[in-house]
Amino acid sequence: MRLTEKRMLADRYELTAPLARGGMGQVMVGRDVRLDREIAVKFLRLPDGEQDPDMVRRFVRESRITAGLRHPGVPAVFDGGSEDGHHYLVMQRVHGIGLHDLVSEQGRLSVGWSACVAAQVCSVLSAAHGASLVHRDLKPANMMLEREGTVKVLDFGLAVALDRADMSQITRTGHTPGTPAYMAPEQLLAGSSTPLSDLYALGCTLHEMLTGQRVFTASTSFALASKQVNEAPTGVRRLRPDVPADLAEVVSALLEKRPEDRPAGADEVYGRLIGFATGLEHIPGELNQPHLPSPHRMYGAAVARVFGPAGTGADTSADSRAGDGAPAAPDTPADQAPESTVDAVPLSRVEVERTRDEAAELGSSARYQQAAQTLREAVSSATASFGPTDPDTVRLRMDWANVLFEGGNFRGAAPVYGELVEDLEGMEGEENQSLVFRCRLQNATCHALSGRTGAALSILSDLLDDEVDVYGHDDHRPLELRRQIGLLELAAGRRKDAEHTLRDLREDLVRLHGPGHPTVAQLNDQLNGSLTQ
C-alpha cells in the first residue's frame, strides 16, 4: 500500500491525502465513512520497509497508553490495527495553526499568549507524566492552536519508546527520537528521556514564543547538539526586556542543563505560568471572532470556578508533587499494592498457574491494565493462602511488577519491586539472590524512567557494592552495571562523575579483554566525544 494514494483502509476509513511525515511515522487525513467524521490516520514507518517485531510491539504498547490518555489537549484515539503490514492509529483530526507557523507569522507572541499556550501544554504533560508517558519530541511543530484558543499536543505515541527490558536499554546512545533544537542535554548525551526532558523542551518552546528565536541555532545537528549540552542560553530579557522577570526565571529554570535543577514537574510550572496568561488579544485569521459564542470557552470558564472563582484545578504545593521530577500517577486499582488479605478469595496452586497464563496472554496482546488487575487480585489471594514469600506468590508478584513495567506504569511497578526486595532479602539460595538483584535493578530503572535519577543512582550504587561482593570485581554483571551507572550519571548532568566512572571501566575492560572489545569502542566514542566537548 502506497501511503500517498487515495484508498480505503479496513473497509471503513477513506484516506484522501498525506498531511505530515516524521522520522517514525506518516499521517494521512481522511474520513470515517461509517460515522461520517474527519479523521487523521498515523502509520508506523518501518526502517527500509521491513517488519521489525520489536518496533511493532512497542508501537502497539505506546498506542494503547496514548489511547488511555484522556485530556482535551490530546487528540482522541478512535481505532488502531494493521493492514498489508502497515500498522496504524485512527485519531481525531485537529484543525488550527501549528505553533511554529504562528510564531513565524507573528514574529513572536505576546507575554499573555506565550504563558497561556505553555500553561495548556503543562496541563497535558501533567496528565501524560502521571500515566508514565513521556512525549520525547515536544516542539512547536507538535503543538496546534485551535480557533477557540485551545492547544492540542500532537504525536504522543509516535516517537516509539526504547525497549524497557532493563536499565541498559534506556542508557543506549544514539537511539532516542527527537529534534536537536528542543532536546535536553540528557537526551543528547545518554539517550535518556524522562518527564524532565519534556520540561526542557517546553522551556525551548516558551523561549521561542517570547523572543521569536530558538534557544540555539547552528549549521549542523552536531553543532546544535553541542550547544544544547555545553552553552548557556541567552536570557529572554536580554532579547525582549518587557518580559516579566518572574516569567524569565521560569524559562531559565526549565533550561537548566542538569535535570535535577529544573522544576519538579509540570504542575509546578503550570502554577508559575498561569498568572501571566492575561490580556489575551485576538489573533486575526487564527482565532474565531471574540463576539461569537464559544462553547469551549464557556465550558472552560465554568470548570475554572470549581473550588472557587480563581480555582485552577492544580495543586502546586510541595505535598502534591511526587518528588524527583515526576507527578504522582493516578491511583488506579492495578497500580496499588494489596493493602489487606482479609477478604481475599483462597487460591489453589492450579489456579495460580491458570492466572499466570491468563495474564501472560493479556500482556502479549498489550492489554496491560487488565493483566495488572488480574495479577493484583491473584497476589492478594495467594498471599493470604500461601504467604508473601511462597514461590508461587513470589512468581505472581514478579509477574505483576513486570506487567506494570512493560505497560509503562513505572510509578506503580517500583513499589512492587521494592516490596519484593524487602521480603526476599536475607533468604538463602543463589536463585533467590539473583532475583533480589534483578528486582533492585528494575526498581532503579523505574525511578530513572520516572525522572528520579538521584534515587536510581543511589539504588544502583548499593547494588554494585553487593554484586562485587557476590560475583567479584571482574564479573560481567558488575562491569555492565558500572557502564549503566556511568551513562545515568551522564544523563543526570554529572559529567565529571560519569567521566571518572567510564574511564575506570574502560581500563578494566582493556585489562580483561583487550582494546578490541566492543564495549571499549563504545566507551572511547563517549569519552572522546560528548564528555570532552
* Residue 95 burial class via C-beta count within 10 angstroms: exposed 0-12, middle 13-18, buried 19 and up: exposed
- Give the N- to C-terminal CA distance of the chain in Å, as an integer: 45
Q: How far apart are CA 325 and CA 361, in angstroms?
A: 34
Contact 113, 119 (CB under 8 A): no
Residue 166 is a catalytic residue:
no
Active-site hit among 52, 137, 155, 242: 137
* Residue 408 burial class via C-beta count within 10 angstroms: exposed 0-12, middle 13-18, buried 19 and up: buried
CA distances to 143, 163, 190, 200, 335 from 408, in Å: 24, 11, 20, 21, 11
Q: How far apart are CA 199 and CA 140, in angstroms?
A: 13
Spatial strand order of the sheet with 25-32 comes to 7-9, 13-21, 25-32, 37-44, 86-92, 77-83
**321: helix, coil or strand?**
strand
Antiparallel, parallel or unpaired: β 37-44 and 77-83 = unpaired
Spatial strand order of the sheet with 143-145 comes to 97-98, 143-145, 151-153
Name every residue whose Cβ is closer than 8 Å to that of residue 372 and which is 6 or more positions away in sequence. Answer: 334, 335, 400, 403, 404, 407, 409, 412
CA distances to 8, 95, 104, 148, 195 from 287, in Å: 33, 11, 16, 6, 31
User: Catalytic site residues?
Assistant: 137
